[in-house]
Amino acid sequence: MTSRWRLLFTEPLDGIDNMALDHALLARAARTGECVLRVYSWASPTVSFGRHQRTAGTYDHIALAVVRRPTGGRAVLHAREATYSVTAPVTRPLRATYAGINSLLLDALRRLGVDAALAHATSSPPPDAAPCFETATEGEIVVGGRKLAGSAQWRNGGALLQHGSILIDDDQSLLGPSTTPPATLRAALGRAPTVHEIADALFDAARATLDPDATPLVLDPEVCADVEKFRALYADEGWTWRA
Amino acid sequence: MTASNIPTDLLYTRDHEYVRIGADGVAEIGITDFAQGELGDIVFVELPAAGTAVSAHAQFGTVEAVKAVSELNSPVTGEVVLVNPRLDKEPALINNDPYGDGWMIRVRLADAKARDGLLSPQAYATQIGG
């Protein structure tokens, strides 16, 4: 990849703002041709649903904040984790893009001292299957065969958004009984790294493998205006609750 | 990798949709063999209801594969007259038979210029390097 990369760390936001900002960064990628690696977290524990998941009648009982992502995949509880997003122009096929970003995650995790690997091929689960961290799909990050990071993607208007969660601790059981608990950074490292520490590892990996001149991104008025515009979508009950 | 199937009786878009324009002014739309191969196992497709107006180059639906959502853009302008009823339960038809049972929507064309801007099979083959 020879694209120009920018790096962005954001303080904890609620689900609506987190999704609106990722959406605005996708629009920025389409507009500028630049790629952005963002690392973020959540102001309170939040369940995010996949774009096509049925939620009404299934998740109504959850007493946590909820938001629907623009990306595919299944439900994720965002609590003790570091979340990343990559926004970029579409230059490669879907699986090649996943492979490239997963390699970045793997590099960053190894910098933290985690003995992580890429999962082997499995069939792709439908959006209404079990929660996201139950199964790893091909190329996702696993430790000891259990999923540590889950990712999903959206392609629109010549740009892509891929975002995902790297678990520091396991809170996924709050979504329901789990047959295969995920891996966590705490278990892998014997301690819980901070989101800042994980962000530094990701940014170091990006500078080492993608763009040695990657610089911090300062949000410009156009991105901020887009965030305001997209907030309305992610706050819409009709978008979130789908039968 | 096997070469993608590009039927010679269809027209195509740069976004990998195909159009089969019938003599009755109705166009059948789906995604190409190349597109389904690039996406992988399709697990969900969201399509507009019959009666919906669609515009050339504008989004008409989404498809999900490998936890990735991709937008579907209409090759033509017109009104949806039929949606493939099988895809709700059998989205894999798009992988298995993209030009047959995996068709997505049928659109009554708004005007005779529907072919403008569409790619010939040869031009589409060149675009995907086939």
Of the partner residues B44, B46, B70, the one whose CB lies closest to the CB of residue A155: B70
What's residue B61's pLDDT? Answer: 97
Give the H/E segment covering residue B45: strand B42-46
Contact B64 A155 (CB under 8 A): no
Above 90 in pLDDT, residue A176?
A: no
Residues contacting A236, CB < 8 A, separation 6+: none
Q: What is the pLDDT of residues B56-108, one digit of tens each?
A: 999 999 999 989 999 999 999 999 999 999 999 999 999 999 999 999 999 99
Q: Contact B44/A155, CB-based, under 8 Å?
A: no
A50 and B CB contact within 8 Å:
yes
Interface probe with A: pick from B15, B69, B72, B87, most Cβ of A within 10 Å: B69
Distances (CA, A) of A31 to A24, A39, B15: 10, 21, 18
Q: What is the per-residue burial (b if ≥16 Cβ within 10 Å, else e) of B67-77?
A: bbbbebbbbbb
Instruction: Please name the residue of chain B whose CA is at the shortest distance from the CA of residue A159.
Output: B70
What ipTM was assigned to the predicted interfaces of this complex?
0.90
Q: How far, in Å, CA of A89 to CA of A161, rounded?
A: 9
Tell me, what CATH number does A81's domain have? Answer: 3.30.930.10
Structural domain of A76? 5-240
Q: In the predicted model, is pLDDT for residue B4 greater than 90?
A: no
- Residues from chain A contacting residue B31 (CB–CB below 8 Å): none
Smallest CA–CA distance from B69 into chain A, residue? A154
Mean pLDDT of A92-104: 92
Q: Does the distance separating the beta carbons of A155 and B69 come in below 8 Å?
A: yes
Bridge partner residues of B45 (DSSP): B63
- A156 to chain B, any CB pair closer than 8 A? The answer is yes
Which residue of chain A comes nearest to B35, CA vs CA?
A93
Please state, in angstroms and rounded to a whole number, the distance separating the CA atoms of residues A81 and B67.
20
A182-212 pLDDT per residue, tens: 999 999 999 999 999 999 999 999 999 999 9
Q: Give long-range contacts, CB 8 A cutoff, 24+ apart: A213-217.
A: A213/A4, A214/A4, A214/A5, A214/A6, A214/A7, A214/A37, A215/A6, A215/A7, A216/A6, A216/A7, A216/A8, A216/A9, A217/A6, A217/A7, A217/A8, A217/A36, A217/A38
Parallel/antiparallel/unpaired status of strands A215-216 and A5-9: parallel
Q: What are phi and psi of A202, to 5 degrees?
A: -65, -40
Instruction: Give the pLDDT confidence score for residue A147 in this predicted structure.
Output: 92
Say if B111 is an interface residue toward chain A (CB within 8 Å): no
Whether A47 has a pLDDT exceeding 80, the answer reads yes
Our count of domains for chain A comes to 1
Share of chain A above pLDDT 70, in %: 95
- What mean pLDDT, rounded, does chain B reach? 94
Kindly state the helix (H) or strand (E) to which residue B38 belongs, with its residue range.
helix B33-39
Write out the two tokens for B14: 């740069």
- Alpha carbon A83 to its chain centroid, in Å, reads 5
Residue A1 has pLDDT above 50, yes or no: no
